[in-house]
Structure 1
Amino acid sequence: MTTMTETSARFREFKMPDVGEGLTEAEILKWYVQPGDTVTDGQVVCEVETAKAAVELPIPFDGVVHELRFPEGTTVDVGQVIIAVDVVPGGGEAAAEPVAPAVAAPEPAAEPEAPKGRQPVLVGYGVAESSTKRRARKGTEPPAAAAAAIQGELNGHTTTAVPAATVVPESRPLAKPPVRKLAKDLGIDLATVTPTGPGGIITREDVHAAAAPVPAPAAAPAAPAVAPEAVAVPVAAAPVPGARETRIPVKGVRKAIAQAMVGSAFTAPHVTEFVTVDVTRTMKLVAELKEDKDMAGVRVNPLLIIAKALLVAIKRNPEVNAAWDEANQEIVQKHYVNLGIAAATPRGLIVPNIKDAHDKTLPQLAAALGELVTTAREGKTSPAAMAGGTVTITNVGVFGVDTGTPILNPGESAILAVGAIKLQPWVHKGKVKPRQVTTLALSFDHRLVDGELGSRVLADVAAILEQPKRLITWA
């Protein structure tokens, strides 16, 4: 009995937290520590993928890693212990009852500091039960503590100092977690990739270049130069030579999106309307804004003007910005607009949104769009950034596609699809002339938005893009 008490006092266990909104599981993508490594309060110990995003998990106490309960690639339920840490300096008498670690570990690199007594701050943290039972797990080959420290610096967190006797293998490739995940998906050994990033860091483009002798697949299929900018491009799994088919596990973000899209398609009655519009004046405005000193430092593209046009249309037709409350059989009118931008990533489709987009000036909206794009491309979009959206824009034009019938993002009332902007013959002032033309498609939930309201919103967006001075007169 005494031994169990000492063991409980010696080891603290870190549980898989709920890093999203009511999520029930997460996949362990990468361990940054191994048994024997010293960890400090707040140090990131692993990266996990939830149904919404990839998230790095910090540990809330000091000590020496005793055991990793699950190998990389394992899906773990929220609340399950994922790592055990020895928080007692030297182990004391409790060391008389060793607990066999599930993952092979090197000798401890350093003596841990005394626990600080800091209370857990995330859901799922907590001291484990005093049981010393351990289930056998598949062994993994532990990297050196120094390599874990270097990887930690790449991700912006502080790790413990590397002992002087530790030697970092020169062949250890340096890459951020999203890049490592991409390499894993494509079957690329990072040791064979030539880095081009600062400080010898392997970039996403380097991985793509190593995957095939052709240009990196991150580039979108050929599209007109005037097409709105894409947020990201999906990456397919690399085929095995000679294989007739490839099976890709559906999990994490991709699994959640698949379930959500099915639920949305068969729950909300979708209606889609289309309009083709001359956007020549909008394209001229984009060119002028790129030279405007007030827009210096932000990216100006057609997507920015389209986003602003949709926000103005919503202001003129606020009833479209709503949600359906099934439990209470109510329509919930939203007095704010969290504007979603659909982004295709290697992990699947995500829809981060710009909070309170309706209150932003054009330069502020441009900056927010730029930050959203950068974060999505780096695979760092947080669950909070994808929560609470009200309406969404999806850009299919960057792929050279004219239009589509987009499915609503769950919980939202409308989604606007933007097609490719192309030179087409158009009747302008009584004559057929080449003009910049695009097709817009608006899908909406017919429980919230009837045909008249949906038509007004779509017509307003089209009118603004045809005569962008309405951004001033209508706002």
Structure 2
Amino acid sequence: MSEFQFLMPDAGEGLTEAEVVSWRVAPGDTVELNQVLLEIETAKSLVELPSPYEGTVSAILVEEGTTVDVGTPIITISAAADETELGAPATAAVGPSDVDAEAAEAVADTRSSIDEEKSGAVLVGYGNAGAVTSRRRRARTDAAPPAAQAASAPTPSGPVIAKPPIRKLAKDLGVDLRLVAGTGIGGEVTRDDVVREAGQASVFRNIETPDWAETREDRIPVKGVRKQIANAMVESAFKAPHVSLFVDVDATRTMEFIKRLKNSTDFAGVKVSPLLIMAKAMIWAVRRNPTVNATWTDDEIIVRHYVNFGVAAATPRGLIVPNVKEAQSMSLLQLAQSLEQLTLTARDGKTPPADQQGGTITVTNIGVFGMDTGTPILNPGEVAIVALGTIKQKPWVVDGEVRPRFVTTLGASFDHRVVDGDVASRFLADVASIIEEPALLLD
């Protein structure tokens, strides 16, 4: 028998520490190749670490909730010498202190690919005897058998008409379809019905005011994502000179366009919201005002001719800004699908580090919280961010007459070192013009 120690990895982000969130194994457990051993939290995301060996867990060296430096031993696994994978030396404690970027991204994407010709670095005990490609299997330790799941599922009191994607959405949001009044044809439950029910349930939960805690204070450690958010916001606010602009917009035609998309068979089962049109509008406006899609260095301004579109997302772990890569090349349907997947992944707290890096411009949708507008802080490394406020009916003058229209307010902040006032104004005016008339996207 040989014992192998695993060291806390860097996960490819250049970080110096990570927190052990949860162990999926215990001493004495038999582990399979690629079985998830534990989940760690870095300053940017949750990452599952797989086992490169088959063997038995000898010892857990770090308790859950403990933050340790990269390179610290965290677990020991015993394996028969002739059963170890990759031929790693049994006496060596291996760790990824110099993991290459390709391997780091592989961890986040639940697969690993290490090429000895590119680097002699090793990833969490994978060894360096040759190139290896593997896909780890997701552990299902808490999943109930199909029969048990069927037995525990609620039996509807009447027929519920809903397409499979809508049923999945309801399940993801914790919505009981029996309680949803369908507004579709023949009483079919639509995506809007499910989202509305989930929102109402959230509001009702917030109406109840909790009792004061017995303790007079709560002390929350500043670490992980919260620490990263704090550092990033301070750096952005005090390093980049912000200038902000605001504009009210008649979004009635955008709301009509969204309604048509929802009724389109091409968008069946795909979430369509004002955020989709907002994203397309910003991408269109970037092409006309490219310097808002730049980054500042002390020596030069780098203008990117591609758009990695970031969306500020409030998650259980805090604020993160994942981005859709190469959004400028996507159709409206592809962009809708990408934004939906990005949102669902963020909500589950599973956004990989690669999806949070390389953003070029960001939107923050504060309208979902009922806010009209705000002054957003730039995402570090970017020079423009737009806040989309709530869209609601207000009196609006149309052709000399006051009419009820769907109105929103756009707020934007820019890095004044890069973006002059005229460029910032033209960019925001272009975004507003698309929200007012989405047909301009066909131009």
Corresponding residue for residue 140 of structure 1: none
How far apart are the structure 2 equivalents of 1:451 and 1:396? 24
The DSSP-based 3-state class of the residue aligned with 2:244 is: strand
What CA deviation, in whole Å up to 9, does each residue of 1:344-387 have, x standing for no partner? Answer: 01111011000000000000000001101111111111111111
For residue 409 of structure 1, report the CA deviation from its aligned partner. Answer: 0.8
Confirm whether residue 446 of structure 1 aligns to residue 427 of structure 2: no
Tell me the distance in 1 between the aligned counterparts of 2:57 and 2:249.
61
Please say if residues 423 and 436 of structure 1, whose CA atoms lie closer than 8 Å, have aligned partners that are also in contact: yes
Which of 113, 117, 122 does residue 86 from structure 2 map onto?
117
* Secondary structure, aligned partner of 2:256: helix
Which residue matches 1:260?
A: 232
Distance 1:298 1:157, change over 3 A: same
Q: What does 1:32-431 correspond to in 2, within 5 Å?
A: 32-88=24-80, 114-117=83-86, 121=114, 125-126=124-125, 157=138, 205=174, 221=203, 241-326=213-298, 329-431=299-401
Q: Which amino acid in 2 is paired with 1:281?
A: R
Deviation of 1:31 (Å): 0.4
Listed one character per residue, the Cα deviations across residues 256-290 of structure 1 (whole Å, up to 9, x for unaligned) are 11111111111111111000011111111111111
- Per-residue CA distance 1:368-417 (angstroms, 9 max, x = gap): 01101111111111111111001000011111111000001111111110
C-alpha separation in 2, matches of 1:219 and 1:387: 34
Q: 1:362 & 1:304 partners in 2: Cα distance?
A: 8
Task: Kindly state the Cα deviation for residue 173 of structure 1 after the two structures are TM-superposed.
Answer: 6.5
> Is 1:11 matched with 2:3?
yes
Q: Which moved more, 1:39-48 or 1:389-398?
A: 39-48
Distance, in Å, in 2 between the alignment partners of 1:320 and 1:173 is 47
Unaligned runs of 5+ in 2: 89-93, 95-113, 115-120, 128-135, 145-151, 155-166, 176-196
Q: Deviations over 1:49-76 (max 9, x none)?
A: 1111111001222221111110100011
The answer to whether the Cα contact below 8 Å between 1:343 and 1:349 also exists between their aligned partners in 2 is yes
Structure 1 residues 6-40: Cα deviation after superposition (integer angstroms, max 9, x where no partner): xxx82111111111421211111110111111122
Partners of 2:426 and 2:260 lie apart in 1 by: 29
Runs of at least 4 residues of structure 1 off by over 3 A?
118-124, 172-175, 202-206, 215-222, 238-241
Q: Distance in 2 between matches of 1:62 and 1:195?
A: 36
1:38 and 1:378 map into 2 onto residues whose CA distance is: 28
AA in 1 matched with 2:37: V
Corresponding residue SS for 2:277: helix
Is the 8 Å Cα contact of residues 30 and 57 (structure 2) preserved in structure 1? yes
Give 3-state SS (helix, strand or coil) of 1:469's partner. Answer: helix
Any idea what SS the aligned residue of 2:379 has?
coil
Cross-structure match for 2:162: none
SS in 2 for 1:408: coil
| Structure 2 residue identity aligned to 1:54 | L
**d(CA) in 2 for partners of 1:217, 1:362:** 26
Distance in 2 (alpha carbons) for counterparts of 1:300 and 1:62: 45
Q: How many residues matched?
A: 360
Does the CA contact (< 8 Å) of 2:35 and 2:137 recur in 1? no
The gaps in structure 1 that reach 5 residues or longer are: 1-8, 90-112, 129-154, 160-171, 176-193, 207-214, 223-232
Q: Which amino acid aligns with 1:360?
A: M
Q: 2:198, 2:256 → 1: CA distance?
A: 31
Check conservation: 1:220, 1:398, Cα contact below 8 A. Answer: no
CA distance in 2, matches of 1:216, 1:305: 23
Q: Per-residue displacement from partner, 1:75-126 (whole Å, max 9, x unpaired)?
A: 111111111111236xxxxxxxxxxxxxxxxxxxxxxx72133568475534
CA shift digits 1:126-180 (9 cap, x unpaired): 499xxxxxxxxxxxxxxxxxxxxxxxxxx95258xxxxxxxxxxxx9759xxxxx
The one of 25, 29, 33 aligned to 2:21: 29
Question: Match for 1:433 among 396, 403, 411?
Answer: 403
Deviates more, 1:241-250 or 1:347-356: 241-250
Shift of 1:426: 0.7
How far does residue 340 in structure 1 lie from its aligned partner after superposition? 0.4
Greater Rg over alpha carbons, structure? 1
TM-score between the two structures when normalised by the length of structure 2: 0.75
Identity of aligned residues (%): 54
Conserved? CA contact 1:14–1:127, under 8 Å: no
Check whether the contact 1:27–1:73 (CA below 8 A) recurs between aligned residues.
yes
